[in-house]
Amino acid sequence: MSGAPFKGLRDAHLHLAEHGEALSCVDLSGCATLDEALGAVSRAAASAPSGQWIKAVKARMHGWREGRWPDARELHDAAGGRPCIVRSFDHHALVASTPALAAAGVGPGTPDPEGGVIERRGGEPTGLLLENACNLIWRAMPEPSLDERREHLRRALADLAGMGFVEVHDMLSRPWMSGLIADLAASGDAGASAVRVWLYPRLEEAEQLLETAETWQRETLRLAGAKLFLDGTLNSRTAWMLEPYPEPIAGHPHGKPMMSADALEAALSKCDILGLPAAIHAIGDAAVRAALDAIERVSPSTMGFRIEHCQFVDEADVGRFAPLGVIAGVQPCHLLADVEALRRVTPHRAHRAFPLRDLIDGAARAGFAPEEIVWLGSDTPVVRPDPEDNLQAAVHRRRAGAPQADAIAPEQAIGRDVALACMRSPDAENFAD
Ligand SMILES: [Zn+2]
């Protein structure tokens, strides 16, 4: 990163363990050729214990001079026989080495799984797996050990501290994270001491963590709420939308609600009783409306209920957050990655994507400052957590260097100072960073 031009930042939506794991992979984004990529795999494999999986990510095969993927045998040789995978930057394809294919039980007789393709040459798998076929490998890969998980968390916190973050909200915290982060902080680890971590596990796990909280909670680490899922994602057309998709998935013209109104209300009531604000995953405008409706009916006395993503919010709902005391957790940086998806999947609603200006105006009408209602985050490792990306998207509504005509809903742009306010930790002044 560019030497921490920022201080006192908060990333209000990310995935710490996965970010750390991604940092532990071989990064192929800088490779111009297949040869360079195989060289990077070789160097990583040379220092890894035999038998350890080598994971290389962010491969852009179309940008390589050779313009092709390696095959399982080439990858086997590069990784010195260790199981190895090379994953495409867009997560839609991976190449598995010969031992990785064997570990996953993929051979000539393996049928293509539904929604996936095992590429073959003369009947033999080449190593290239597309879409759902990638899951065959993920299922075979060993879970990280506790030591590896500690190392992932340590790396993630060090990386974020280096970018100027002093507070991060982990948005699907696993039960083992609290103990590992508490250990890191107690051991004086620089990242774990510099960054406050708010944990949001699933509701069932939050209940259990609450019982042991006094053994691990500390100034820099707390159980902050519980995560619920109300819909799916934009790219898979499962985000729950008010208007039907122009090209929906079969049987789901509006996407996929994941909870009934009754189940959502019951979960919100339970959160309120536990004193844990809910963080509700809602990407589509129908999901956002259902979340607001449910919070309105439950009328929780616990502060800090929040709706995460808010990728589409209808005009009728933008002003409802502040009066209900609901925080909009938004990741504008996804606009940079999702420009094409927004145009392809939701051309009819692109003008309602990431409506930051409306949300902030709605907050102002109820007497709230922008940073009281809109909390920005990155959702890393889905995209990188560079604070400049959120600023670019919030202020310019398009990729850096792209023409003005490429901007998505440019009327929803906000000023850089306002965006920064929504990215700043309120504890920043009182907290050594
Ligand atoms: Zn997330």
Cα–ligand 1 centroid distance for 126 (angstroms): 33
Cα–ligand 1 centroid distance for 54 (angstroms): 25
Q: Supply the pTM of this predicted model.
A: 0.89
What residues does each domain of the chain span? 54-140, 147-430
Query: What is the dotted CATH code of the domain comprising 54-140?
Result: 3.10.310.70
Give the residue-averaged pLDDT of 4-9.
84
Cα–ligand 1 centroid distance for 27 (angstroms): 21
Among 3-12, 292-301, 368-377, the range scoring the smallest mean pLDDT is: 3-12
Percent of the chain with pLDDT over 90: 87
Give the residue-averaged pLDDT of 121-139.
95
Cα–ligand 1 centroid distance for 13 (angstroms): 6
**What's residue 194's pLDDT?**
96
Neighbours of ion ligand 1 (CB under 5 A): 171, 379
**Residue 168 pLDDT exceeds 60:** yes
Cα–ligand 1 centroid distance for 12 (angstroms): 10
Give the C-alpha separation, 428 to 372, whole Å: 15
Cα–ligand 1 centroid distance for 336 (angstroms): 16
**Residue 433 pLDDT exceeds 60:** no
Cα–ligand 1 centroid distance for 129 (angstroms): 25
Cα–ligand 1 centroid distance for 171 (angstroms): 6
pLDDT digits (tens, 9 = 90+) for 300-356: 999 999 999 999 999 999 999 999 999 999 999 999 988 888 999 999 999 999 999
4 pLDDT tier (thresholds 50, 70, 90): low
Give the residue-averaged pLDDT of 118-133.
95
Q: Which has the higher per-residue pLDDT, 4 or 216?
A: 216
147-430 to CATH, choices 3.20.20.140, 2.170.8.10, 3.40.50.300, 3.20.20.70: 3.20.20.140
pLDDT digits (tens, 9 = 90+) for 226-272: 999 999 988 889 999 999 999 998 899 999 899 999 999 999 999 99
pLDDT digits (tens, 9 = 90+) for 64-104: 999 999 999 999 999 999 999 999 987 889 999 999 999 99
Percent of the chain with pLDDT over 70: 98
Cα–ligand 1 centroid distance for 57 (angstroms): 19
**Residue 424 pLDDT exceeds 80:** yes
Cα–ligand 1 centroid distance for 394 (angstroms): 18
**Residue 430 pLDDT exceeds 80:** no
Cα–ligand 1 centroid distance for 261 (angstroms): 22
Cα–ligand 1 centroid distance for 225 (angstroms): 14
429 pLDDT tier (thresholds 50, 70, 90): low
**What's residue 337's pLDDT?**
86
Q: What value does the mean pLDDT of the chain take?
A: 94
Cα–ligand 1 centroid distance for 380 (angstroms): 7
Cα–ligand 1 centroid distance for 432 (angstroms): 27
Cα–ligand 1 centroid distance for 68 (angstroms): 32
**Residue 432 pLDDT exceeds 50:** no
**Residue 1 pLDDT exceeds 90:** no
Cα–ligand 1 centroid distance for 84 (angstroms): 27
**What's residue 2's pLDDT?**
47
Give the residue-averaged pLDDT of 22-37.
95
**Residue 32 pLDDT exceeds 70:** yes
**What's residue 92's pLDDT?**
83
Cα–ligand 1 centroid distance for 428 (angstroms): 23
Cα–ligand 1 centroid distance for 215 (angstroms): 27
Cα–ligand 1 centroid distance for 70 (angstroms): 31
